[in-house]
Amino acid sequence: MPHNKRVVITGMSTINPLGDTLDGYYDNLIAGRSGLRVWKSLDVSAIDCKVGGDLGDYDFKTALADLQDRLPEPLPKKLRKLFRNMTFSNKSGTMTALRAWSDAGLFGAELDPHRISVLVGGHNFNSNYVLANIRQFDEEPAFVEPLFGVEALDPNIPATISEVVGAKGPTFTLGAACASGNVALRDGFRDIITGESDVAVVAGAIFDMTASDIHAMAYLDALAIDPRYVDDPAGASRPFAADRGGFVPSHGAGAMIIEDLEFARRRGAPIHAELLGVAANANANHLPAPSAEVQAHLIRTLLERTGIRPEEVDYVNGHATGTPVGDVQEARALKAAFGAHASRLKINAPKSMMGHVCWAAPIVETIGGLLQLKHGRLHPTINLEFPDPEIDLDVCSSGPVDHQIRIMLKNSFGFGGLNCCSLIKRYEE
């Protein structure tokens, strides 16, 4: 789509197994620390996958108070009431959106509410909440949650975010399995370059999964279920390793604020990076069977649309889930798309430390990439004692690496063959 606008990232925030502040998240990434543990908030006694990035005990009340302490003005009283009634997933999406809004300096800014978009990537967010209310209905219908008919619906999350930031522009969810966050970013990008919006909130809320959701994914041979990981949760997620056995499901949320560059400049906004473009395609196969050919086509398409030569890309924030098929297909796609330059790319796998935060993964991991861009240092891919010989690329297996990122490719390849990649550049005047 030809356009003359530039789009920049001005705010970001995340809650994930490695931290709920930008500094804490980055420090744990660089240190190669794992955020995985045996599930406590879910009863996993009947299933094989016991390990995950469990945030079921996250304290949103304290988080809201901490946010208030950093703001120059009081938060609306109704926000506290809203938080009392929100689902776990909605709280995560709204909290990260508010923190990203603050990071972008948008509290108190003069904005046209009709030119603010809210796009939330994901679907089936409230699975655990819905299951609990179904069980309650079966036991005693009168005691289901009074707002079950509202809070259980996915669109309630973007609707709540739009209410708390005062956005009246395009507002909805976009579902594409584990590519959802990037698909939401694609829509926000398009809103800005077409002139419909000046600002877009792009969020990914926690997938509040049930034990049965985890069990169903394990049936597909997609999860790490080796019983040894009960005693060694940190070793469970093994992207690019020869002994990888599947991904590790985790809780996680993130939000980014993207803006028209000229609009951001006029208000003196902080700029984390420039979003060059986002592209999507599909495998024409509903099964979870990744295709290197289709992924490579997508990456080449994205490069062509943005006018970026393959050799200009120097870093890839990998999808890299740790599944036996997925990782090798991604490596083949990179080789096909970049040719000889693939061997010069720096690549790492954030899921090796925090597991797979599902729908929000593209946003949470992009934020990690932006922090690495800011600090000029890449995090390691951990658990690579036995590298897969077919994945003969530089996957940062030996520890953190000093590297000044100029252009970052963020891959996301979801179940159902739904693919979406973004290209992000260090901001230059």
| pLDDT tens per residue across span 273-314 | 999 999 999 999 998 899 999 999 999 999 999 999 999 999
Mean pLDDT of the chain: 96
Q: Is the pLDDT of residue 1 over 60?
A: no
Residue 429 per-residue DSSP state: -
Res 347: pLDDT: 98
Residue 13 per-residue DSSP state: E
For the chain, the farthest-separated pair of C-alpha atoms sits apart, in whole angstroms, at 65
Compute, in degrees rounded to 10, the torsion defined by CA atoms 145, 202, 53, 379. -170
**Could you say which architecture CATH assigns to the domain 7-273?**
3-Layer(aba) Sandwich (3.40)
The angle at the Cα of 220, spanning 214 to 225, to the nearest 5 degrees, equals: 55
Q: Is the pLDDT of residue 332 over 90?
A: yes
In order of 98, 106, 109, 165, the CA distances from 72 in angstroms are: 14, 11, 12, 15
Q: Which class for 389: exposed (0-12), middle (13-18), buried (19 or more C-beta within 10 A)?
A: exposed
Percentage of the chain with pLDDT > 90? 93
Q: CB of 420 within 8 A of CB of 186?
A: yes
**Segment 135-158 mean pLDDT:** 96
Chain region(s) in the chain for CATH 3.40.47.10? 7-273, 277-425
Res 72: pLDDT: 79
Helix (H/G/I), strand (E/B), else coil: 244: coil
Res 211: pLDDT: 97
From the list 424, 369, 413, the residue with the least C-alpha distance to 179 is 413
Q: CB of 107 within 8 A of CB of 176?
A: no
Model confidence band, residue 250 (pLDDT cutoffs 50, 70, 90)? very high
Helix (H) or strand (E) holding 9: strand 7-15
**Segment 347-375 mean pLDDT:** 98
CATH for 277-425 is: 3.40.47.10
**One-letter amino acid of 355:** G
Model confidence band, residue 28 (pLDDT cutoffs 50, 70, 90)? very high
Q: Is the pLDDT of residue 249 over 90?
A: yes
Res 288: pLDDT: 87
Q: Which residue has the tokens 């108190």?
A: 108
Q: CB of 208 within 8 A of CB of 125?
A: yes
**Segment 340-352 mean pLDDT:** 98
In order of 121, 253, 357, the CA distances from 88 in angstroms are: 16, 11, 15
- Rounded CA-CA distance 191/198 in Å is 8
Q: Is the pLDDT of residue 2 over 70?
A: no
Q: CB of 323 within 8 A of CB of 285?
A: no
**One-letter amino acid of 294:** V
Res 80: pLDDT: 84
Res 3: pLDDT: 67
